[in-house]
Amino acid sequence: MASGSGSNFEALVAACRGGQLAATVCQLVVNNPGCGAEQRAARLGVPCMLHDHRCYASREALDQALIASFQAAGVELVVMAGWMRIVTQALIDAYPERLINIHPSLLPSFRGAKAIEQALAAGVKLSGCTAHLVSLEVDTGTILVQAAVPVLEADSVASLAARIHAQEHRILPLAVQLAAERLDLV
């Protein structure tokens, strides 16, 4: 699941195709028509489905449509790779312990949107990223993997984000592998 550029999605595809992750990315779902993730899926030959959240009456209705798409594609594990929507209990219950999110902070610090901006505003010297299981309360699920990134004095949102994204690309495939092993999926 992706909403933006899709760099974490591409990192997962590369990890699967390169043998670092014993999995297959069988489908991408995006919620923003024409987003970078959708373009990456076309280039990589991964089926992509659009579920524009603006076309659904509620979060629950969107999540029910997502569940139907995932079930039709035989999805066993769901990764929120830059999915900028809050999910409901329906999706969590449909994929218990099988719904993974990547977040650009060292949780539990700086939950929610604009985590990098929050870290810079707080003046922390260390930030990073967290891959975790999804729970109903935003960015509070069981932590699978974290990576630390130093915050430099000259950092801007863009410069810190670039270093954090590089670590996200490294830890997200590892988190997927760990989650799959915990569930005996591999």
Q: Which residues are catalytic?
A: 103
List C-alpha distances in Å: 117 to 3, 132, 172: 19, 20, 21
The answer to whether 30 and 3 are in contact (CB under 8 A) is yes
From the centroid of its chain, how far is CA 80?
3
d(C-alpha 45, C-alpha 42), whole Å: 5
The answer to whether 163 and 152 are in contact (CB under 8 A) is no
Element containing residue 75 per DSSP (H, E): none
Q: How big is the chain by its Cα radius of gyration, in Å?
A: 16
